[in-house]
Chains A and B, each alone.
Chain A
Amino acid sequence: MTRSAHWTRRMLQVAGVSTAALLTLSACSSSGPGSDQGSSSSPKLSGTVTVFAAASLEESFEALGKTFEKRHPGTRVTFNFGGSDTLAASITSGAPADVFAAASTRTMATVTDKGDAAGTPATFVRNRLEIATLPGNPDRITSLKDLAKPGLKVVLCDRTVPCGAAARQALDAGGVELTPVSYEQDVKSALTKVELQEADAAVVYRTDVRAAGDKVTGVDFPESAKAVNDYPITLLENAPNPETAKAFIALVRSAEGQKVLSGAGFLKP
């Protein structure tokens, strides 16, 4: 008992030291560049921009974030990717963020309704659903109806998440009755279940199928046209760093940003 108590204490010490180190690091990164350039009156961008973005935007936004940091030395873009509804809930309960990019107008509305968005959100891309199957599609899934085959393990997003709401809409449009094995909390966890081959198929976004490369095979289905998601982006009311945040939003909406996004499989707004 004493040995394990000693061990626990050591673990806690290590944890404490690393937390302190992290705090010092983050303090440096947020205050360092700001204090250097605070005196110059030019509108040079600085500091950290915190972007809350739908899980499906992960790959493209990471790339755009790097571009942004390179173009504006002294800035840092940090991301919080997750289910849009989770992100919206944390924003309305006061999470410090500059930019919110949601995967549906409904989740964005929960933020604008609470008055947490600065200005009107703009739709910057659209996304379609696709079926992600195991590599090479061994179950020969060719349509939404095939997902209802007995014995097939299908995962969907929870209906509180945009991809789940869209999937439900598409299933209803196709008149398909489907009992999945799980309702996942965001689109990436749904995709992961197929990547790990735990599930046979998932209804995810076209962009996720593309991002997964050869770990999954995508199957397009006509009903997806009935459930196209608009992705709105907005500056937040309590943004700690609004100037830099605006510049990041501008990059996302620019021709260059759109090129990155359409390269990932997103549709033009």
Chain B
Amino acid sequence: MTDTLQSRPRRERPRGRTRAVPIPLLVPALIGLAFLLLPLIALLVRAPWSSLPEQLTSAEVWEALRLSLVCATAATALSLVVGVPLAWLLARTRFPGRGFVRALVTLPLVLPPVVGGVALLLAFGRNGVIGQWLDAWFGITLPFTTTGVILAETFVAMPFLVISVEGTLRAADPRYEEAATTLGASRFTAFRRVTLPLIAPGVAAGAVLAWARALGEFGATITFAGNFPGRTQTMPLAVYLALQNDPAAAIALSLVLLAVSIAVLAALRDRWLTAS
């Protein structure tokens, strides 16, 4: 009974407001919406629908798609393993220069990915600051390898996960953890048994974001890992190179990536599309 009473006015009020949307807000809003949607519509309009099955069944497309999915998933896993603890450190501990560390963590968000790729080469390249020791001691070289692709994608995607998880951690009540520790749990057990289940939705959302970012990664990948079909040529690289001599193939590949993006959005819909 109380339920219907509460929900009715809530439903009616927005309807009254829609009529009174001020033109100075409505017009730019519609332009903005059209600007975001038109390129995607153009992609669908110009898609080579008749030759699409043939384009999408070519071995090269599947090779690139497989590599993209494998690398993005591996990069997300790597981000989870080190990113969640990093987010915990930033949200739950106090140490001097924490704000600075957080700014550094988010740097790859604003850094052009190509710059990230160059930085990775200078660090992990065969002749890099760390890479030269990897090569000398273990015989490991990372550029031009699938592992290199995973590292490049992790570098670009992990900040998304860290930011998302840190935000969730800050919103979560620390008293649950404290209660667990006063009851005798170690801080790690409290994290594992109390905090982690509490922030699981935030971790999942962050992981999906990171995965999507890794899947679309171009600049750092081509700079650090190069471009070789089946080994380092992911979907975005294939799209870019196909656009130059075979636009139809590029559009077909783009459609696949678009479909994947829509799937990611669908996975996130509970969080973004209805939670507001």
Chain A residues packing against B (C-beta within 8 Å): 1, 3-4, 7, 11, 83, 85-86, 88-89, 153, 155, 158, 160-161, 180-185, 189, 193, 196-199
Give Cα A4 to B104, complex, Å: 12
Interface members, chain B 83-102 (any A CB < 8 Å): 99, 102
B245 within 8 A of A: yes
CB-based contact B170/A1 at 8 Å: yes
Give Cα A264 to B144, complex, Å: 30
Q: Which residue of B lies closest to A181 (CB)?
A: B144
Chain B residues packing against A (C-beta within 8 Å): 99, 102-103, 106, 110, 121-122, 125-127, 143-144, 163, 166-167, 170-171, 222-223, 225-229, 232, 240-241, 243-245, 247
- With a cutoff of 8 Å between Cβ atoms, the chain B residues found around residue A89 in the complex are 243-244, 247
CB-based contact B127/A185 at 8 Å: no
CB-based contact A86/B244 at 8 Å: yes
CB-based contact B144/A4 at 8 Å: no
CB-based contact A198/B103 at 8 Å: no
Give Cα A176 to B121, complex, Å: 30
Given A11-B110, A160-B241, A185-B241: A1 in contact with B166 (beta carbons within 8 A): yes
Partner of A182, one of B110, B228, B240: B228
> Would you mind naming 8 contact pairs between A and B with Cβ atoms under 8 Å apart?
A4-B167, A85-B245, A153-B144, A160-B244, A181-B226, A182-B144, A193-B226, A198-B121
Q: Which residue of A lies closest to B99 (CB)?
A: A3
CB-based contact A182/B227 at 8 Å: yes
- With a cutoff of 8 Å between Cβ atoms, the chain A residues found around residue B167 in the complex are 1, 4
- With a cutoff of 8 Å between Cβ atoms, the chain B residues found around residue A189 in the complex are 222-223
Given A7-B103, A85-B244, A182-B144: A198 in contact with B125 (beta carbons within 8 A): yes
CB-based contact B222/A198 at 8 Å: no
CB-based contact A155/B244 at 8 Å: no
Given A185-B241, A198-B125: A4 in contact with B106 (beta carbons within 8 A): yes
Give Cα A7 to B143, complex, Å: 34
Partner of A181, one of B103, B110, B125, B228: B228
- With a cutoff of 8 Å between Cβ atoms, the chain A residues found around residue B122 in the complex are 196
CB A4 to nearest CB in B, in angstroms, measures 6
CB A15 to nearest CB in B, in angstroms, measures 9
CB-based contact A196/B244 at 8 Å: no
Partner of B227, one of A158, A196, A198: A158
Q: Contacts A4-B167, A89-B243 given; 19 further ones with Cβ under 8 A?
A: A1-B167, A1-B171, A4-B102, A4-B106, A11-B110, A85-B244, A89-B244, A160-B241, A182-B225, A182-B232, A183-B227, A183-B241, A185-B240, A193-B143, A193-B226, A196-B121, A198-B125, A198-B127, A198-B144
CB-based contact A196/B228 at 8 Å: no
Give Cα A175 to B127, complex, Å: 32
- With a cutoff of 8 Å between Cβ atoms, the chain B residues found around residue A185 in the complex are 222, 227, 240-241
CB-based contact B102/A197 at 8 Å: no
Give Cα A161 to B240, complex, Å: 12
CB A119 to nearest CB in B, in angstroms, measures 24
CB B247 to nearest CB in A, in angstroms, measures 8
A86, A155, A182, A197, most chain B CB atoms within 10 A: A182
Partner of A198, one of B126, B229, B247: B126
CB A216 to nearest CB in B, in angstroms, measures 13
Q: Which residue of A lies closest to B132 (CB)?
A: A197
- With a cutoff of 8 Å between Cβ atoms, the chain B residues found around residue A184 in the complex are 226-227
- With a cutoff of 8 Å between Cβ atoms, the chain A residues found around residue B125 in the complex are 196-198
- With a cutoff of 8 Å between Cβ atoms, the chain B residues found around residue A155 in the complex are 226
CB B118 to nearest CB in A, in angstroms, measures 9
- With a cutoff of 8 Å between Cβ atoms, the chain B residues found around residue A196 in the complex are 121-122, 125, 127
- With a cutoff of 8 Å between Cβ atoms, the chain A residues found around residue B222 in the complex are 185, 189
B127, B144, B222, most chain A CB atoms within 10 A: B144
Give Cα A197 to B126, complex, Å: 7
- With a cutoff of 8 Å between Cβ atoms, the chain A residues found around residue B225 in the complex are 182
Give Cα A244 to B247, complex, Å: 33
- With a cutoff of 8 Å between Cβ atoms, the chain A residues found around residue B121 in the complex are 196, 198
CB A237 to nearest CB in B, in angstroms, measures 20
- With a cutoff of 8 Å between Cβ atoms, the chain B residues found around residue A161 in the complex are 244
- With a cutoff of 8 Å between Cβ atoms, the chain B residues found around residue A85 in the complex are 244-245
CB B170 to nearest CB in A, in angstroms, measures 5
Give Cα A196 to B167, complex, Å: 39
Q: Which residue of A lies closest to B233 (CB)?
A: A183
Closest 4 CB pairs of A and B: A182-B226, A1-B167, A181-B144, A85-B244
- With a cutoff of 8 Å between Cβ atoms, the chain B residues found around residue A183 in the complex are 226-229, 241
- With a cutoff of 8 Å between Cβ atoms, the chain B residues found around residue A86 in the complex are 244
Q: Which residue of A lies closest to B145 (CB)?
A: A181
Give Cα A184 to B125, complex, Å: 17
CB B76 to nearest CB in A, in angstroms, measures 21
- With a cutoff of 8 Å between Cβ atoms, the chain B residues found around residue A181 in the complex are 143-144, 226, 228
